[in-house]
Amino acid sequence: MNAIQPLKISGIALPKDAERMLDEICEHFIEHAEVQRSENHALLKSKNGTASIRLADRKLLIELACESETALHMNRTMIAEHLFYFAGEEPLELTWSEHSPLAGLPNIHDVTVVSAEDVTPHMRRVKFACADVAPFVGGDMHVRLLVPPKGRPPVWPGIRQDGRVAWPEGEDEILVRIYTIRAVDIERRELWIDFLQHPATHVATPGADFARDVQPGEKVALLGPGGGSLPAAQSILLVGDESALPAIARTAAEVAPGTRIQAIIEVLDETEEQPLPSAGSLDVRWLHRRNYPAGAKGVLAEEAKKAIASIDNETFVWVACEKEDVRSIRTFLKSRGHDKKRMYVAWYWEQASA
């Protein structure tokens, strides 16, 4: 039998600094795909397909290859969104060899709020009914929550010619936030998402506000899943703060029996600790910020480094927390030569400058 020929799309990106953008692509996607870098060429490989990105004449030449049309156009959207994110306020032109035949995004799931409850004083769980939970079982954990404006029928996003998501605007503008699916209840066809209720914050928290005020029966949508796969290893080190706690809890709950797990979790105080049921052998240590000396910084990162220094290269290291802590931990892992295929190190939030 002949092998299935992958479907392909090519693109050309014209950023202000193509070399810097290629560097950013490689640094970012190393946590989400297998990245092979050779001078001015990067090859990103994932279960959804491949992306070849080559620097030439101050341009980025992009070739995407996937086994299905849906995966191909989802990957195109993912690449486009990241390129414009990396560009920031700088100009960027992005064109593709063909337009998407899809009118809307193929991975939007309509869901209905079932209930909302406090798990701890600062963590609130919302349960959603979903007609098909199969895409959320045993794979990627992250989704985008889409909340339409109150009193208006939802208008869900489509696809722009440059591959990016075409978000509704004006009166139809929707709230979009990224979260982790905390648990999947297959029998009840429910998805759980835990929302951190940020204590003593002076910034807008629309996602937390949604979880605080939402009522059963409200209609929203989930876009995904994508990213944040469950680690598969006999030994796992989990490091994170409240922002990572839903992913840590789900990982602990879904590992294979006998898996050895060491977890270091930073929370405000003992009232924010949660039970972490697991079929594995779990050793968890909670760090309480309320007990830190005044002005203390990088405590979680330093504790993570101590733990990393005591493990072998076969242990999967999973880290998610503040950006500077993540950079410090990633540098330490690199200095020890830890296998890149056995680690996930991603920042979930960034400390505001003073």
Q: What is the CATH number of the domain that holds 196?
A: 2.40.30.10
Q: Measured between alpha carbons, how far is 6 from 72 in angstroms, rounded to an integer?
A: 9
CATH number at residue 302: 3.40.50.80
Same domain, 167 and 262: no
Asked which of 5-9, 62-66, 179-183, 284-288 is least confident by mean pLDDT, the reply is 5-9
φ, ψ for residue 76, nearest 5 deg: -60, -45
Tokens 């003593």, residue located: 200
Instruction: Look at residue 101 and tell me if it is in a domain.
Output: no
Same domain, 133 and 213: yes
28 band by pLDDT with thresholds 50, 70 and 90 = confident
202 band by pLDDT with thresholds 50, 70 and 90 = low
Instruction: Look at residue 44 and tell me if it is in a domain.
Output: yes
Section 33-56 average pLDDT: 92
Q: Are 77 and 70 in contact (CB under 8 A)?
A: no
Same domain, 82 and 163: no
Tokens 């990241």, residue located: 82
Q: What is the pLDDT of residue 71?
A: 86
Asked which of 101-105, 246-250, 300-304 is least confident by mean pLDDT, the reply is 101-105
CATH number at residue 67: 3.30.310.50
Same domain, 129 and 206: yes
244 CA to centre of own chain: 10
Same domain, 78 and 13: yes
Q: Are 9 and 64 in contact (CB under 8 A)?
A: yes
Half-sphere exposure of 2 (CA within 13 A, CB side): 3
33 band by pLDDT with thresholds 50, 70 and 90 = confident
Q: What is the pLDDT of residue 354?
A: 47
272 band by pLDDT with thresholds 50, 70 and 90 = very high
Domain count for the chain: 3
Same domain, 201 and 124: yes
Same domain, 213 and 251: no
Q: What is the pLDDT of residue 353?
A: 55
Per-residue pLDDT tens over the stretch 206-217: 999 999 999 999
Same domain, 255 and 150: no
Instruction: Look at residue 2 and tell me if it is in a domain.
Output: no
Radius of gyration in angstroms for the set of CA atoms belonging to the chain, rounded to a whole number: 21
Q: Measured between alpha carbons, how far is 41 from 117 in angstroms, rounded to an integer?
A: 49
Boundary (domain end) residue, out of 223, 258, 281? 223
Query: Hey, is 21 helix, strand or coil?
Result: helix
Same domain, 219 and 243: no
**Average pLDDT score over the chain:** 92
Same domain, 242 and 310: yes
Listed residue (338, 346, 322) closest to 235, CA to CA: 338
Section 314-335 average pLDDT: 95
Boundary (domain end) residue, out of 185, 203, 223? 223
Model confidence at 2: pLDDT above 70: no
Asked which of 10-14, 54-58, 134-138, 144-148 is least confident by mean pLDDT, the reply is 134-138
φ, ψ for residue 206, nearest 5 deg: -65, -35
Model confidence at 184: pLDDT above 70: yes
Query: Hey, is 71 helix, strand or coil?
Result: helix
Q: What is the pLDDT of residue 69?
A: 85
Instruction: Look at residue 47 and tell me if it is in a domain.
Output: yes
Q: What is the pLDDT of residue 233?
A: 93
Instruction: Look at residue 1 and tell me if it is in a domain.
Output: no
Boundary (domain end) residue, out of 70, 96, 122? 96
Same domain, 273 and 322: yes
Q: What is the pLDDT of residue 351?
A: 81
Instruction: Look at residue 102 and tell me if it is in a domain.
Output: no
Instruction: Look at residue 21 and tell me if it is in a domain.
Output: yes
Section 155-170 average pLDDT: 92
Model confidence at 326: pLDDT above 80: yes
Same domain, 256 and 207: no
Model confidence at 1: pLDDT above 50: no
Domain enclosing residue 306, as ranges = 235-349
Per-residue pLDDT tens over the stretch 237-249: 999 999 999 999 9
Q: What is the pLDDT of residue 319?
A: 97
Tell me the CA distances in angstroms from 242 to 32, 78, 155, 276, one per residue in order: 21, 26, 32, 14
Q: End-to-end CA distance of the chain: give it in Å, rounded.
A: 63
Q: Quote the percentage of the chain above a pLDDT of 70.
A: 95
Instruction: Look at residue 138 and tell me if it is in a domain.
Output: yes
Q: Kindly report the pTM of this predicted structure.
A: 0.84
Listed residue (253, 292, 249, 309) closest to 273, CA to CA: 249
Q: What is the pLDDT of residue 10?
A: 96
